[in-house]
Amino acid sequence: MANLIRCNVRVSPEVHAWFKERSESTGVSMSALMFLACEKYMHEHQFMNSGLPKLMEIAKQAGVDVSGVIPQGLSEAILDAERAK
Using one digit for the tens of pLDDT, what is the confidence trace for 12-22?
A: 999 999 999 99
CA-to-CA distance for 73 and 78, rounded, in angstroms?
A: 9
Per residue in 9-52, pLDDT tens? 999 999 999 999 999 999 999 999 999 999 998 888 777 777 77
Distance CA 83, CA 50 (A): 11
Burial class (CB in 10 A: 0-12, 13-18, 19+), 84: exposed
pTM over 0.75: no
The domain limits of the chain are 13-84
